Amino acid sequence: MKGKGPGSGVKGQAKKSIDERAKNVKLLILDVDGVMTDGSIILDNEGNEFKRFHVRDGHGIKMLKKAGIMTAIITGRSSKVVDIRAKELGIEDVYQKVFKKTAVYEELLKKYNCSDENVAFMGDDIVDVGLLKRAGLSSVPADADEDTKKYANLVMKKNGGRGAVREFTDLILKASGHWEKVSKEYLD
């Protein structure tokens, strides 16, 4: 992942390293289109919507859950497919058709008794800038909107819907010391 450099000034927080930021994460919030998917929206002749999710991204979310880190979705579009995928992954907090994402963000902070420094967020476009600026640890996929990238602490190596979420969840798990615990069952 390409970091903008620890303490890049995006948040106004003292020069904290990425690992220091990741250690504080209690809640990961994700956008959907362009983050959990490649951003494509496929419609058939009957108006059915199709999205493609990456299985490793989903597994990264499940490993976060095993580590006690909560996950939530805040997305501007509304799709039954998102509800189905969230249910598969055990994501209970799903907010769709949200234009002003900071209002929902505030609700989640209260619900989980978190501050900005306890939140990781991944978005990919201008509608996500408010949360990229607020979250203690923020990232965008490699193929995110160019103007949006400057607001993130990290630019992942992988594209949206192609492993960027997993790259981010692995970073959080390793920096927070949870990696050994959650990966042990697979390595034995």
Give the domain ranges of the chain.
16-187
pLDDT digits (tens, 9 = 90+) for 141-162: 999 999 999 999 999 999 999 9
pLDDT digits (tens, 9 = 90+) for 59-109: 999 999 999 999 999 999 999 999 999 999 999 999 999 999 999 999 999
Check pLDDT > 80 for residue 15: no
The crossing angle, in degrees rounded to 10, of helices 179-187 and 55-66 is 120
CATH annotation of 16-187:
3.40.50.1000
pTM comes to 0.90
Distance of alpha carbon 115 from alpha carbon 135, whole angstroms: 9
